[in-house]
Structure 1
Amino acid sequence: MIRLLRAMLIAVLAAFAAPLSADELRPAVIELTEREAGQWSLEWKIPVSANTRGASPLLAQPVVPASCTMEGDAVQRAAPLALLGSAKLACTGDLAEESFGLSELIGNADAIARVSPLSRPTQTFRLTAETPTATIAAKPDRWAVARDYFIIGAEHILFGWDHLLFVIALVLLVRSGWSVVKAATAFTVAHSITLVATTLGYAGLPSRPVEALIALSIVFLAVEVIRAIREPDHHTWTRRMPWLVAFAFGLLHGFGFAGALADIGLPQGEIASALVAFNVGVEAGQLLVIAALIAVLAVMKRMLPSAETPAIRVATYAIGITGSFWLFERLLG
């Protein structure tokens, strides 16, 4: 029975640590903006990831309010990993209580829909596969932006595999409660700094080297975890000061978060609340992962102590191999 449980735990950790793709969670975005009375511009961006390449993004088309008519044909073009589109609309009335969004969203994808009238505040909606359209409100919900960007931030850490694997490797390296808290806090502070600075235009790095360095950070931590298992008495500076390593790599991950947020965009007039909500959502998702992993390790240590080290070793090798693949893919791709 113990052997069976040990094998199951190792298999679960290995499977969890070895996703097939490092695709970032980059929601689709559709925006309806009033340029002058009754004249609106419609723009949309639908990402194409490894998980959706099997389904044509052409299936997802804009759903415009019933009181709007399209002037001419929509313009669509392909961009790297995305489909871009634009159109001009003529609309009557204030569009209140009318539907707006996309015809469908594939799988677990979500989207941000934004309506910007001339005479009223911008409204932002989070669309999902279950509800790919939203109803334009006569009076905007003041909490809608914060709520939606919080959810997107949490999803970004939970489904953005490269950030997630870094957090998992960090916990596997540190393990003890207080040290995990300090390392996680340092990572949070660091990625918050670069996320805010980049979003507000005070800093920035090209996305390709940033993504490669994020993959390198995963490989680096995986190597350190294996060294800690093989040489428990040899304390490297990484193991002595994991918070410093977490802070340094957290700065890089902040650029990655900023890249995802740039794809989504921030609503004019509510930039601060959206930015704070996104960052808090990232932190909430991160804390959820850390708490779950610490709980699993604690249960394993108490009930199956002999399985703890083999399970961590298998999971770490899976993490390191995955990070190495992403590193070469981002350097050579």
Structure 2
Amino acid sequence: MLRWLLLLLALAAPPAQADVFRVGDYAIQPGMEPGSFDLSASIPSVLASNDPLGLPEGCRETARERLNEATVTRYAISIDCDRAVTAEDAIITPWAVDGGTFLSTATGTRVQQALQPTGDTLSLPIGAVAARQRALPEIAVEYTWQGIVHILGGWDHLAFVLCLCLLARGRYLLALVTTFTIGHSLSLALAFFDIVKVPVPPVEAVIALSIAFMAREAIQARAEDMADPHGRRRQLAVVAGFGLLHGLGFATVLRELGVAADERLSGLLFFNGGVELGQLIFVGCVLGVIKLAAIFDRDQWVRQAALYGAGIVGCFWMIERVAGFTLGTA
């Protein structure tokens, strides 16, 4: 039974990328004729559709081209307006992205900013002459939420934390999670500010390998080994190293969200805080499930099934990612 369960976990494992956000990239510029504009949009292919844009009054779409690539769909859309656009005018996009970057020269001024969706739509401020300045509370709420969403939707990061939860208990678990947090917080900051630059595909492959390694570590752990100070120091060092790698994956997401220049420091701090909050929520859920399983004397069965499942899925993701960047598709 356990064998078939583990096989099912491997087959059902979704492709896990360091970037789990579905980010759109938008640019608009004046067209060749007065009152015309050219909009380009890059959308994750899973969200692509030919649904119409929501345009300001007096504007209409005159042409649309669509190019489908491996994971991204690109649009080139021509728009004509019979009046001058105002600061209140906006284009409503129909693609349900998690966020977007926006570059506009439509008003003769270069405007670049990050945008957040409202429901399943994103509003492009076609008439903006400057990026909107946001108050700190608004920045805090947005980036904290983005951090929570990222960690709770990042299957590879959660799988690694799961292995930590099943490796240790009590203060030692707290030490492992804290070490992991310090590691990925440090590398997140260094990568986000371009102090450290590492190619993304190899990092993703090693992140997947870290899951398999930590699952094996937890499966083979014995009570006497866990009490050995030398063994604990080795595990803390390994977790710190893998934390540095996971932080590089977090930085990829934060960078692609298109953080405004004047929000870089605050965005980094609140995004990282959201990641930690989401991580604590997940740890609490895992410990709750283990305690519940212990009531029915099934905690060891659940522990072994989860660790073998995480190890198999980690190996699957590693092979998938290595094959991807080897073939030049990552």
TM-score between both structures, scaled by the size of structure 1: 0.76
Q: Specify the alignment match of 2:71 in structure 1.
A: 81
Within a 5 Å distance, the mapping from 1:148-187 to structure 2 comes to: 148-176=142-170, 178-187=171-180
Counterpart contact for 2:9–2:313, Cα < 8 Å: no
Count of aligned pairs: 305
Q: Specify the alignment match of 2:328 in structure 1.
A: none
Selected match of 1:325 from 316, 327, 330: 316
Selected match of 1:44 from 41, 44, 48: 41
Counterpart contact for 1:195–1:258, Cα < 8 Å: yes
- State the 1:78 CA deviation: 4.0
Residues 115/220 of structure 1: CA separation in 2 closer, same or farther (3 Å cut): same
Counterpart contact for 1:224–1:238, Cα < 8 Å: no
CA distance in 2, matches of 1:145, 1:61: 31
In the alignment, does 2:290 pair up with 1:293? no
Counterpart contact for 2:190–2:196, Cα < 8 Å: yes
Q: In angstroms, what is the RMSD of aligned CA positions?
A: 3.6
CA distance in 1, matches of 2:263, 2:30: 20
TM-score between both structures, scaled by the size of structure 2: 0.77
Cα distance per residue 1:285-309 (max 9 Å; x no partner): 11110122122223433x23x3111
Residues 157/123 of structure 1: CA separation in 2 closer, same or farther (3 Å cut): same
Cα distance per residue 1:181-231 (max 9 Å; x no partner): 222222122112221211211111111110110000000001011102xx4
Selected match of 2:100 from 104, 109, 112: 112
**Structure 1 residue ranges without an equivalent (≥5):** 1-6
Cα distance per residue 1:32-89 (max 9 Å; x no partner): 56789x88764432123xxx3xxx713366545446566x745644444212345576
Residues 65/146 of structure 1: CA separation in 2 closer, same or farther (3 Å cut): farther
In the alignment, does 2:15 pair up with 1:21? yes
- State the 1:159 CA deviation: 0.8
Q: Secondary structure at the match of 2:195?
A: coil
Residues 95/31 of structure 1: CA separation in 2 closer, same or farther (3 Å cut): farther
Cα distance per residue 1:107-136 (max 9 Å; x no partner): xx52336476777986644226x4413486
Counterpart contact for 2:49–2:95, Cα < 8 Å: no
**Structure 2 residue ranges without an equivalent (≥5):** 325-330
**Matched-pair identity in %:** 29
Residues 285/118 of structure 1: CA separation in 2 closer, same or farther (3 Å cut): farther
Q: Specify the alignment match of 1:4 in structure 2.
A: none
Counterpart contact for 2:151–2:275, Cα < 8 Å: yes
Within a 5 Å distance, the mapping from 1:265-280 to structure 2 comes to: 265-280=258-273
Selected match of 1:198 from 191, 194, 210: 191
Equivalent residue letter for 1:164: L
- State the 1:283 CA deviation: 1.3
Q: Specify the alignment match of 1:95 in structure 2.
A: 87
Bigger CA drift: 119-128 or 278-287?
119-128
- State the 1:249 CA deviation: 0.3
